[in-house]
Amino acid sequence: MTRRLAFVLFLIPTLATAQDKKPISFINDVAPILKENCFACHDAKKRSGKYDMTTFEKMTNGGSGGEAVVAGKLDESDLHGLMVTKDERRMPPRDKGEAVPADKAAMVAEWIKQGAKLDAGIDPKADLLKELRVRWKPPTPPAKFDKPVVINALVFTPDGKSLVVGGHHELTVWNAADGKLQKRLHTRAERAMALAFLPDGKLVVAGSRPGQEGDVRVYDLSAKPAKSDGGVDFLDGVNDQKVLVKHLLDADDSVLCLAVSPDGKTLAAGGCDRTIRVWDIAGGVGSAKLAQSIENHADWVLGISISADGKHLVSGSRDKTAKVWDLKAKESVMTFPDHQNTVFAVGLKADGSLGYSVGADRQVRTWKPGGDGKQVKNSGAHGDEVFRIVLSPKEPLFATCSADKTVRVWDAEKLAQTKALAGLTDHVYAVAFSPDGTQVAGGSFLGEVAVWNAKDKNDKPVVQWNATPGLKK
Ligand code: HEC
């Protein structure tokens, strides 16, 4: 796995192998095979060959060529025939992908021979991806990891005393002064891609199980722990409704970014489905209302930010652009095209006069949000891909983090670098300011966290630790 890919990678799920006599379950045994090998081209949008496999009913009915599954009759069932055929016309098409592994095709064959039944309790019209998600149970993180856990997001708690770090199926909370582990909160999501505290102290998390699902869930870190062990509190964010206080969104792939407006009344999230969802949370996140769904990008949305006055939303995408959206008029205001490569993150100066974007082109760029999409300035100081940008809550400063292993602090007006913060030994995927703006924290591919002073002359970390529970030094 390359490090670059680790930021947004896909995992291949492991599957049980065919066992002849055992009754085959459609949802547990067959549907995962179809999802893995077929859904990409036979979803509700693409419908290749007018064949939509998103529900059991549509999947068995087939496409323009008629029935794809005939119960008990293997040689009349194209679903299986096209997987194993020696003919040119195979599924997936020969030029588009590998054949379905033999043991998996055999599993599908056995299911058809056994009568091609749908499991009891599932509606033939139900969305299969949703049914698969419901059945998937998140693993419990081990007491001790033997490999470092990639950090994709971190955030200071509102009192500035602790850091919440995205781990492997969990969020970990650490004392920001000495790096001591305080809490572990089990999550359904494999990774936290973005973290943000709401005005009421609840934590919003954009979650990812790469290539499988994504979510936006809200947690209460102050809820009563399920247990405490060795000074560490364990919270169950999967089942405990006092910990998991709101479930805002389920998506078919990763949710990658979040933004909360400075007045705390608007929440937005974006991800692999290219859609930015905007919720009105003025009445609290408990009564959040979906206000709009914006489809303004042609590819994954990787970064978003809401202006201080709550009127505009900026976004960055794998489609190589940054865009500004007018939240009131519900229309696109401008497109900034200069990165010519993936835009990982964006920001807006507090007074709305300047837009910021960073990307795979290794540049930090500034532009006029209301203008014609022309650049104001750029800096290539990072020298490698730049992943995130966060604004200081107190001053005209922002911080960026990069594959060059540094966090850098910038004058938000002049785009002049004020500090280059060293100490981490790998790609830095996460960066955050403390609520009072005096400290900056970074998190790396190797699980390292460092906290620096944002403003003095010192560029060495004040404190540094590895945020992988139980990792041997
Ligand atoms: C990379 C894209 C792609 C993938 C992956 C793919 N298909 Fe297809 N499929 C197509 C296209 C394009 C057509 C229409 C052309 C054709 O029928 O050959 C098609 C047609 C079909 C048809 C015929 C529909 C009809 O009624 O005419 C069936 C059945 C089918 N696919 C099944 C599958 C199965 C089962 C899988 C997974 C094992 C799969 N496909 C994976 C692209 C794909």
The CATH number linked to 304 is 2.130.10.10
Task: Indicate if the pLDDT at residue 41 is higher than 80.
Answer: yes
Does the Cβ of 225 fall within 6 Å of ligand 1? no
Domain presence at residue 418: yes
183 and 113, same domain (yes or no)? no
> Ligand 1, atom 10: nearest CA belongs to which residue?
48
Give the residue carrying structure tokens 């910990």: 243
Domain encompassing residue 34 = 11-135
129 and 158 together in one domain: no
Pocket flag, ligand 1, residue 65 (CB < 6 Å): yes
User: Same structural domain for residues 160 and 210?
Assistant: yes
408 with 265, same domain: the answer is: yes
Q: Is 51 in the pocket of ligand 1 (CB under 6 A)?
A: yes
Q: What percent of the chain has pLDDT over 70?
A: 96
Domain boundary residue among 135, 166, 190? 135
Give how many domains the chain has, as a whole number: 2
**Residue 303 domain-assigned?**
yes
Distance 79 CA to ligand 1 centre (A): 9
Binding site membership of 97 for ligand 1 (Cβ less than 6 Å): yes
Distance 76 CA to ligand 1 centre (A): 16
**pLDDT tens digits for range 388-426:** 999 999 999 999 999 999 999 999 999 999 999 999 999
Beta bridge partners, 166, equal: 171
Residues 212 and 239 grouped into a single domain: yes
Q: Which one, of 90, 98, 120, lies nearest residue 28 by Cα?
A: 120
178 and 291 belong to one structural domain: yes
Q: Is residue 162 part of a domain?
A: yes
Other Cβ atoms within 10 Å of 439 Cβ, number: 20
- Among the three residues 78, 101, 135, which one is the final residue of a domain in this structure? 135
Measure the CA–CA gap between 67 and 79, rounded to whole angstroms.
9
Q: Name the residue among 355, 353, 349 with its Cα closest to residue 335.
A: 355
Residues 216 and 342 in one domain: yes
Locate tokens 């303004």: which residue? 296
Domain contains 145: no
Tokens of 433: 């300011």
Residues 6+ apart with CB under 8 A from 257: 193, 194, 206, 269, 270, 271, 301, 302, 303, 304, 345
Mean pLDDT of the chain: 94
Spatial CB neighbours of 379, under 8 Å, sequence gap ≥ 6: 363, 364, 410, 415, 417
**pLDDT digit string (tens) for 240-286?**
999 999 999 999 899 999 999 999 999 999 999 999 999 999 999 99
Q: Tell me if 447 is assigned to some domain.
A: yes
Kindly report the length of the chain.
473
Residue 190 lies in a domain: yes
89 close to ligand 1 (CB < 6 Angstrom): yes
For residue 341, what are its two tokens? 């490569």
Shared domain check, 348 and 252: yes
Instruction: Tell me: do 296 and 182 sit in the same domain.
Output: yes
Residues 83 and 210 in one domain: no
pLDDT band at 8 (very low <50, low <70, confident <90, very high): very low
473 within domain boundaries:
no
Domain end, chosen from 135, 164, 186, is at: 135
Does 274 map to a domain? yes
Q: Do residues 201 and 69 both lie within one domain?
A: no
114 - beta bridge partners? none
Distance between Cα 17 and ligand 1 center (Å): 24
In this prediction, residue 472 has a pLDDT band, given cuts at 50, 70 and 90, of confident
Q: What is the pTM of this model?
A: 0.85
CA angle, 69 as apex, 63 and 74 as ends, to 5°? 135
- Separation of 124 CA from ligand 1 center, angstroms? 21
Query: 319 and 454 share a domain?
Result: yes
